Structure 1
Amino acid sequence: MLTIALVDRIGSGLWASVSVLYFTYVSSLSVAQVGTLAAVAGAIGIAGAPLGGRLADRFPLTRVLIAVQLLRAVASLALLTTNDYALLLAFSAAGSLGDRAASVLTRLYATRVAGADRVRYQAVHRTVANAGWALGGLAAATALALGTASAYQWLLAGDALSFIASALLTLRCGEPPSPSRAVATSKTPTPTTKPPRTNPWRDRTYLAYVATETVLFLDDAVFKVGLPLWIAHATSAPHGLAPLLLVLNNVMVVALQVPLARFATTTRAARKLLTPLSAAFALGGMAMAFSATGGAATAIPLLTVAAVAFTLAEMIHATVSWELSVALAPDTGQGAYLGVHGLAQSAQRSVGPLAVTAAVTIGPAGWTCFGGFIALTCLIQDRLVRDRLAPTPLSVPPVTVSEQ
């Protein structure tokens, strides 16, 4: 599965960095059309997370993942066949739906396969995925030097081929044990046996937890939207600092995500990380605020501190989220629960840009409130999950991790 993650993310890196340019220069869409297409496709894609999780509780996980990868491949190839706006919108929406479903399914695979090592496995997976993104982005940058329509089309074709390759590689992966399917195929329980609750939509605590997760995922918008806008409009730092801070973010994740995973080997340890996570968010917000109070000599180091703080927050939150999202879910409903949890990251893609844009517009006070609000949400989440968590840290028996 780690090889699959690398191949998948290389393809995604090829396309993510040029999608807007493709629709602009190859499909000849206006700025408003491109923005609408991205917004609508993203909104439809939100449904992919709960849908993928629910299907994985009912059918073999690897087969569902193969189907999703093929859907993504077909959607990408279909974009090459037309410049009609309605069709481009439909194909992009299908691809977005598959992308969000694939994200949940790969997390669920790790949960079922890695057992007690699930947090470390997810950390390794994320490191490999980041490396794939970087390789894909470098390849895309090289191709874009040509500046031709054919170059854009080949990048999109490469994205589609990566999904086909991922589907073929998934065929070689063993099917992990599924508590939900084991219960479904077992004999009917006696009348005195109460079936476990597996509907996350009726679990108020879990839904509240997912709501707090939506706030904690806002760090993603900081690097994609907030930092570049803040550097350009509010500080004296050179504009070229923005991509350098993105590189710093990627390097830190690749170098530190796996070592940080050792601090969340149990559910209790993962929950305790919410306190330093709160501090990291608060520090990042304050550093962003103070970066606008002086010249370039002051702004550059403070922006660097902000980037480091938000990157630490990103990595700590990823580690905590991997463990708590599973620990709060019943064994027989892991797919459905993780699917609902996937809504947090999907929703953030819409809410995040608005939140950081508001912080930029308000000014230094906006960033102080931004960091402080997320820091407070960390503490609220800690209080929310404390009583729900069982004393036993893990609920999934360990099995051998597949490296395919």
Structure 2
Amino acid sequence: MLTIALVDRVGSGLWASVSVLYFTYVSGLSVAQVGTLVAVAGAAGIAGAPLGGCLADRFPATRVLVTVQLLRALASFALLTTDHYALLVAYCSLGSLGDRAANVLTKLYATRVAGPDRVRYQALQRTVANAGWALGGLAAAAALALGTTAAYRWLLAGDALSFLACALLTLRVDEPRSNTRTVATSQDPRPTAAPTSPWRDRTYLAYVATDTVLFLDDAVFKVGLPLWIAHTGTAPHGLAPLLMVLNNVMVVALQVPLARFGATTAAARRLLAPLSAVFALAGIAMAASATGGTATTTLFLTAAAALFTLAEILHATISWELSVALAPGTAQGAYLGVHGLAQSAQRSIGPLAVTAAIATGPLGWLAFGTTIALTCGFQHRLVRERLTRGPLSVPTVTVSEH
């Protein structure tokens, strides 16, 4: 699965750092159209996470993942066929649906394979994935130097081909044991307890809502920074993919070492305090980047990118642990699918939030960072109250021999 993560992210790195520029310069869309396209695609992808989680509780997760990878490949190839706005929105929405489903399926696989070591396993997987992002980002930066339409199209084609490769590689991966599927297929005549529904768990739903806000750093890298660089004129266009590379290099270097600070549920909850401070500082750096000339803008954008990356690393560790620790082991897929709504909803809300911050100026970025920082505090209290009543731990699982 680590090899699959590398291939997947190399392809995604080719496309993610230039997608906004592709739609701007190749498809000829305006800032408003790009923002709307990304927001609509993100909204359409919201269903991907719970759908993927539910399917993985009923069917082999690896086979579901193969189907999802093929869907992503189809959507990426389709983008090459048109510049019509409605079709671009439709194809991006299809790809977003597959992307969100693949994300939760990968996390669920790691949870089932690693058991109590899930945080370290996720950290290793994310390190490999971000190494792929960095390689793809460097290739994208080199392609941007050509400045041709063909270069952009080749980057998109590379992304589509990576999904096809991932589908083929996933066919060779062993299926991990699933407590949920074991219960569902058991021939034991004794009655079993009804499966727990995350949709009736108000505390977990509140936790997912707060995590949606904490995932907004993703929108900064995918939409906020590229749009700011493309339309302010005070920073070189080539800075956007380089900041994406910085993001991925930092994750590769720091994700595993920092993961040990959130290896337990209590430790993960304590990390919310420093995470709050990092988000606040990142907002200040973005606000400062809105003033001054090229050198000042580049300096503060780089600092902001580094701070948002640190926040991303800390939040990833926290989210991996809490999203699983607060869920019952008999409904892992369903609960993690609902938690996947946080990233899915962010992909819809995030572009609107960062474009609003850009339109408002320095005060907008200060409000952006402050809002996320305050949400960290609210989540800290919410999780503490849940754990005081007794956390729902996930039992140790092993890889299936079949």
TM-score (norm 2): 0.85
User: Is the contact between residue 326 and residue 392 of structure 2 (CA under 8 Å) also seen in structure 1?
Assistant: no
Query: Counterpart of 1:397 in structure 2: which amino acid?
Result: T
Aligned to 1:263: 261
1:1-400 equivalences in 2 (<5 Å): 1-19=1-19, 30-31=29-30, 36-81=36-81, 86-145=86-145, 150-187=150-187, 190=190, 194-197=193-196, 199-227=197-225, 245-289=243-287, 304-389=302-387, 394-399=393-398
Q: CA deviation at 1:129?
A: 1.4
Change (3 A) 1:248 1:70: closer
SS of residue paired to 2:131: helix
Identity across matched positions, percent: 76
SS of residue paired to 2:3: helix
Query: Counterpart of 2:66 in structure 1: which amino acid?
Result: I
User: Is the contact between residue 117 and residue 398 of structure 1 (CA under 8 Å) also seen in structure 2?
Assistant: no
User: Is the contact between residue 11 and residue 136 of structure 2 (CA under 8 Å) also seen in structure 1?
Assistant: yes
Q: CA deviation at 1:156?
A: 3.2
Q: CA deviation at 1:365?
A: 3.9
Flag structure 1 segments of 5+ consecutive residues without an equivalent.
Answer: none
Number of aligned residue pairs: give it.
399
Whole-angstrom distance in 2 between the partners of 1:19 and 1:287? 24
Whole-angstrom distance in 2 between the partners of 1:356 and 1:173? 39
Whole-angstrom distance in 2 between the partners of 1:81 and 1:300? 36
Aligned alpha-carbon RMSD (Å): 3.4
Worse-superposed segment, 65-74 or 156-165: 156-165
Whole-angstrom distance in 2 between the partners of 1:221 and 1:98? 18
Whole-angstrom distance in 2 between the partners of 1:97 and 1:218? 18
Whole-angstrom distance in 1 between the partners of 2:355 and 2:337? 28
Whole-angstrom distance in 1 between the partners of 2:172 and 2:250? 32
User: Is the contact between residue 283 and residue 370 of structure 2 (CA under 8 Å) also seen in structure 1?
Assistant: yes
Change (3 A) 1:317 1:194: same
Higher Cα radius of gyration:
1
SS of residue paired to 2:57: helix
Change (3 A) 1:235 1:292: farther
Whole-angstrom distance in 2 between the partners of 1:235 and 1:157? 29
SS of residue paired to 2:5: helix
